[in-house]
Amino acid sequence: MKASHCILAILLITAALLLIDIPVDTWLTSATLSLILGTSALVYMAAACLLASRWGVIESLFGGLDRVYEAHKWLGIWALVFASYHFVFKANLDVWNSVPILELPKYWTRLVRQLSYVALGLIVLLALNRNIPYRLWRWWHKLSGPLFLIVILHWLSFKSPITLLSRSGIWLTLFCALGVLAALYKLVLYPFVARAGEYRVTAVNRVNEALHLTLEPIHKGFDFKAGQFAFLAMQQKGLREPHPFTIASANGANGQIAFMIRGLGDYTKKLCACAKVGMCATLYAPYGRFKRASEAEREIWIGAGVGISPFISWLQDPDAKDFEKATLVYCFTPSRAFPAPEELQAMTKMRGAQFVRNVGGIEPLAETLRQAVIHTQPHKIHVSFCGPKGLLAKVHELMDINRIPKANLHFELFEFR
């Protein structure tokens, strides 16, 4: 499922159920549109809480936690857009004989209405603001669950044709209940019941502004598949907030796990500077669905910067095979290369894969795709990508030029915020 599928499905179902519950001759009014958009915004918020829970069934539905967070972001954005229209235009008509589900004094009813819109605006604007330090952003974002309760109270206290036993009322009640449960789980229960393990740092390797961090389980580690990622929470002041990193290793005999981290934000810069052997950490994992395309005749792997991490994990997977059909394209800046291209070249040679250095521009990458379609039919070539959005757009262009179907591209979304 894509984010657009989720957003459109909720809007259509909500609109259909509401239209059934109100007179036909009022369908083409601004009040009806305001009601539809307002209730859809409420369901979007509930769905966003569900997606933020990190439940395995939801991750499977979207094909990876990175896709779940993309849908989560767009649900919040569209909820704010719809709520803005709902806030401006009256969502009630005299012919509807509307009554509130929960009777409140008029002052509190109006206050809750205004607070619900402000709460939604704060949630979305804070979530999208990249200038807020991560440790503050995370705690502000935790308020999304409690603020969601204010929006539910607005629905219950405001006059509308929706009753609890109507079709639309049952739909809203179901989603709101699930959203509250998901928010409660994420806010209170997640640290205690999530898949997690206690680890200790055993090796720290710094190069420029990057860090290669190796950890071993203190008791028992967890199994993961090459290409997945984990939420790393160092048991150190200022570094306790769980942060997602792609696992740059395969399952070892001693449960060892490694991460490649570049100091780009306030959290990662501090981690790169402070990490040392002996530190303890909690890992919440595994997440992600970044897998090899075993059915493809030719595989092109494109890793940029720390986006090389999942491909290192693939190369180290002892159970993997058919590396002779794979070509790893390493996109890097010489002064910031980590790991060194020579190290990656040695790894690919050992597994029988091909290695291409792409320094600066995209010509080596373009030539790799051109050569691939000469020897293999375009629809039998699969491209795996992990890197920044700017380079992803170039990859799309090169695939179009070489007639490689877009469906044959699998990429890990690089950013969660």
Structure tokens given for 158: 């405001």
Closest CA to 220 of 250, 190, 255, 271: 255
Reported as a single tens digit per residue, the pLDDT across 153-177 is: 999 998 889 999 999 999 999 999 9
Tell the burial category of 26 from Cβ atoms under 10 Å away from its Cβ (0-12, 13-18, 19+).
middle
Q: What confidence tier does 288 reach under pLDDT thresholds 50, 70, 90?
A: confident
Q: What percent of the chain has pLDDT over 70?
A: 96
Q: Is the pTM of this model over 0.85?
A: no
Contact 139, 91 (CB under 8 A): no
**How many Cα atoms occupy the beta-carbon half-sphere of 21 within 13 Å?**
23
Consecutive H or E run containing 213: strand 210-217
Contact 300, 293 (CB under 8 A): no
Res 284: pLDDT: 87
| Residue 47 pLDDT exceeds 90 | yes
Q: What percent of the chain has pLDDT over 90?
A: 39
Question: From CA 259, how far away is CA 246, in angstroms rounded?
Answer: 7
Structure tokens given for 267: 């959290």
| Residue 142 pLDDT exceeds 80 | no
Question: From CA 38, how far away is CA 303, in angstroms rounded?
Answer: 42
Structure tokens given for 352: 């029988």
Question: From CA 185, how far away is CA 52, in angstroms rounded?
Answer: 10
Q: What confidence tier does 130 reach under pLDDT thresholds 50, 70, 90?
A: low
Return phi, psi of residue 338, to 5°: -160, 115
Domains of the chain and any CATH numbers? 3-193 (1.20.120), 196-287 (2.40.30.10), 298-412 (3.40.50.80)
Q: What confidence tier does 411 reach under pLDDT thresholds 50, 70, 90?
A: confident
Tell the burial category of 209 from Cβ atoms under 10 Å away from its Cβ (0-12, 13-18, 19+).
middle
Reported as a single tens digit per residue, the pLDDT across 304-328 is: 888 888 899 999 888 888 999 999 9
Question: From CA 44, how far away is CA 13, in angstroms rounded?
Answer: 12
Res 293: pLDDT: 85
Res 170: pLDDT: 95
Q: What confidence tier does 196 reach under pLDDT thresholds 50, 70, 90?
A: confident
| Residue 135 pLDDT exceeds 70 | no
Contact 252, 374 (CB under 8 A): no
Reported as a single tens digit per residue, the pLDDT across 235-258 is: 888 888 888 888 888 776 678 888
Res 348: pLDDT: 94
* Other Cβ atoms within 10 Å of 394 Cβ, number: 16
Structure tokens given for 167: 């079709």
Residues 186-212, mean pLDDT to the nearest whole number: 84
DSSP state of 404: -
Listed ranges 137-151, 157-171, 259-273; the one with the highest mean pLDDT: 157-171
Across 88-92, 350-354, 379-383, least confident range = 88-92
Radius of gyration of the chain (CA): 25
Question: From CA 217, how far away is CA 205, in angstroms rounded?
Answer: 19
Residues 400-416, mean pLDDT to the nearest whole number: 84
Torsion of CA 117, 77, 190, 59, to 10 degrees: 150
Q: What confidence tier does 24 reach under pLDDT thresholds 50, 70, 90?
A: very high
Token pair 């580690």 is found at 221
Q: How much is the mean pLDDT over the chain?
A: 88
Closest CA to 224 of 248, 190, 194: 248
Residues contacting residue 266 through CB under 8 Å, at least 6 positions apart: 133, 134, 135
Res 416: pLDDT: 52
Reported as a single tens digit per residue, the pLDDT across 53-102 is: 888 889 888 888 888 888 988 998 999 999 999 989 988 898 998 888 98
Q: What confidence tier does 370 reach under pLDDT thresholds 50, 70, 90?
A: very high
